[in-house]
């Protein structure tokens, strides 16, 4: 039933929330969890500013202090761009272009600028697949660049870099030799690299760092399932087999458990990473539950005792986080590629048409707090994930970046 509420590590520590800086894809935790004030209502009348980007892309905006970073690429992929903008006005502070003759093939739903940049306040790093990984200081001076491979296949790239301590983690899955890499963030030197399955059919997830009872783990979804790695040494700690392939969605860590979906139709499954070693499919899978509605591209989200998963076609299922019991199934209008934002007990999910649904989790049915629309230019497609920064919402279509005021 649909209800509308009428209203207009020792040295390597897992990231903590920061209301000021949304420094990487899906924020400090990598799971889209925000604290502080986040608007629940906005429209085109709420646009503080919008800027046309120099090309197209699907990356999300990240920031440090007053500086906002976003990537784009020319239509033919021959130029990849990192932009630094003034957060308050959208004015370009600096721009760095990377020319390349080595263009990866793309799926029709992907772009040449899908990975989001990452920053630690001293440097900003952008990953452009075969066009390289590039590090700049906060004023745009190049610090280093690194070629991490050709990334063959027909899908393109999507995994964003993650900074923790002195390391930059980069998932280098491709339909060829695949690996997980740690780079020295100051020099770009490879600290370690761990082989992943060769020739996966899909799986370009961004890693997340979590705390467990036995220490920090680097978690990465993939074609054949979820894996945990030692973030310092890079060795694989454990593996849990999925129920289908193309593990692009980022897992969600809550209640000491990992909630994972696949990409292709297959069960939602939950892994206990504490003390996990080797193949833990039979020993550490807490529960699994049938998915509904086809393929999953948005990541799962845990809000309190509820797990919500929205399929690409809008079918949304609410599960009990502890047992996997399905409370309800409903459908949101539209197609969905971006992953959810979680703030103040609410879930935000933006459709490809630029419509964001704000949902209050409930076991009694789908409760839509607000339906917010932005954009509207012919052909505009929104596949990026929302970025909540300093009480505003930043979102992008393929070629336009928006800063939105709003009401809580």
Reported as a single tens digit per residue, the pLDDT across 294-336 is: 777 899 999 999 999 999 999 999 999 999 999 999 999 999 9
pLDDT digits (tens, 9 = 90+) for 133-172: 999 999 999 999 999 988 877 778 899 999 999 999 999 9
CA 75 to chain centroid: 23
pLDDT digits (tens, 9 = 90+) for 30-65: 999 999 999 999 999 999 999 999 999 999 999 999
Averaged over 239-267, what is the pLDDT? 88
Residue 98 domain-assigned (yes or no): yes
Domain count, the chain: 1
- Ranking 44-53, 203-212, 385-394 by mean pLDDT, the lowest is 203-212
Averaged over 64-79, what is the pLDDT? 95
3-state secondary structure of 258: strand
pLDDT digits (tens, 9 = 90+) for 352-372: 999 999 999 999 999 999 999
Those residues with Cβ within 8 angstroms of residue 160's Cβ, 6 or more apart along the chain or in another chain: 24, 25, 59, 115, 116, 117, 118, 127, 206
Highest mean pLDDT among 75-79, 105-109, 151-155, 273-277: 273-277
Supply the pTM of this predicted model. Answer: 0.93
Residue 276 domain-assigned (yes or no): yes
Residue 18 domain-assigned (yes or no): no
Residue 123 domain-assigned (yes or no): yes
Residue 355 domain-assigned (yes or no): yes
148-154: list long-range contacts, CB under 8 Å, 24+ apart: 148/172, 148/181, 149/174, 149/177, 150/102, 150/104, 150/174, 150/176, 151/104, 151/176, 152/104, 152/105, 152/176, 153/104, 153/105, 154/105, 154/106, 154/107
Q: Quote the CA–CA distance of 140 and 125 in Å, as a whole number.
A: 10
Q: What is the pLDDT of residue 203?
A: 59
What CATH code is carried by the domain that includes residue 322? 2.130.10.10
Q: Quote the CA–CA distance of 292 and 277 in Å, as a whole number.
A: 31
- Is residue 248 pLDDT above 80, yes or no? yes
pLDDT tier at 200 (50, 70, 90 boundaries)?
A: low
Contact by Cβ (8 Å): 16, 33: no
Alpha helices in 65-104 (DSSP H): none
Greater confidence (292 vs 62) lies with 62
| Structural domain span for residue 30 | 2-13+23-404
Residue 161 domain-assigned (yes or no): yes
User: What's the chain's average pLDDT?
Assistant: 90
Those residues with Cβ within 8 angstroms of residue 35's Cβ, 6 or more apart along the chain or in another chain: 17, 19, 343
């Amino acid at each position: 039933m649909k209800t509308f509420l009428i209203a207009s590590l020792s040295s390597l520590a897992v990231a903590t929330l920061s209301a000021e800086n949304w420094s990487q894809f899906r924020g400090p935790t990598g799971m889209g969890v925000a604290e502080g004030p986040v608007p629940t209502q906005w429209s085109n009348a709420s646009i503080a500013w919008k800027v046309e980007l120099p090309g197209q892309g699907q990356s999300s905006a990240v920031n440090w202090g007053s500086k906002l970073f976003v990537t784009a690429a020319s239509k033919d992929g021959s130029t990849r761009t990192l932009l630094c903008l003034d957060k308050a006005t959208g004015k370009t502070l600096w721009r760095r272009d990377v020319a390349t003759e080595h263009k990866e093939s793309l799926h029709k739903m992907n772009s040449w600028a899908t990975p989001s940049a990452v920053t630690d306040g001293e440097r900003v790093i952008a990953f452009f697949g075969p066009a390289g990984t590039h590090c700049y200081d906060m004023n745009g001076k190049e610090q280093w660049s690194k070629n991490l491979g050709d990334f063959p296949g027909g899908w393109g790239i999507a995994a964003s870099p993650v900074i923790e301590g002195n390391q930059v983690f980069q998932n280098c899955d491709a339909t060829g030799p695949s690996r997980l890499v740690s780079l020295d963030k100051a020099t770009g030197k490879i600290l370690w690299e761990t082989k992943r399955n060769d020739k996966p059919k899909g799986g370009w997830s961004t890693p997340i760092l979590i705390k467990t009872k036995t220490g920090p783990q680097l978690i990465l979804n993939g074609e054949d399932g979820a894996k945990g790695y030692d973030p310092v040494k890079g060795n694989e700690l454990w593996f849990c087999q999925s129920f289908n392939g193309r593990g692009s969605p980022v897992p969600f860590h809550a209640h000491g458990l990992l909630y994972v979906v696949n990409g292709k139709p297959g069960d939602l499954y939950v892994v206990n990473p504490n003390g996990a070693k080797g193949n833990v499919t039979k020993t550490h899978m807490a529960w699994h539950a049938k998915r509904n509605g086809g393929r999953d591209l948005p990541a799962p989200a845990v809000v309190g005792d509820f797990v919500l998963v929205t399929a690409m076609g809008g079918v949304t299922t609410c599960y009990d986080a502890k047992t996997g019991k399905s409370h309800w199934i409903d459908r949101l209008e539209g197609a969905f590629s971006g992953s959810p934002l979680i703030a103040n007990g609410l879930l935000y999910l933006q459709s490809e048409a630029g419509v964001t649904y704000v949902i209050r989790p409930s076991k009694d049915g789908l409760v839509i707090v607000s339906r917010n629309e932005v954009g509207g230019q012919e052909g505009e497609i929104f596949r990026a994930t929302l970025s909540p920064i300093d009480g505003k919402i930043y979102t992008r279509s393929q070629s336009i970046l928006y800063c939105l005021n709003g009401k809580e």
